[in-house]
Chains A and B, each alone.
Chain A
Amino acid sequence: DAKTTQPPSMDCAEGRAANLPCNHSTISGNEYVYWYRQIHSQGPQYIIHGLKNNETNEMASLIITEDRKSSTLILPHATLRDTAVYYCIVRVHGSSNTGKLIFGQGTTLQVKP
Chain B
Amino acid sequence: DIQMTQSPSSLSASVGDSVTITCRASQTIVSFLSWYQQKPGKAPKLLIYAASSLQSGVPSRFSGSGSGTDFTLTISSLQPEDFATYYCQHSYSNPFPFGPGTKVDIK
Judge: A and B partners, yes or no. Answer: no
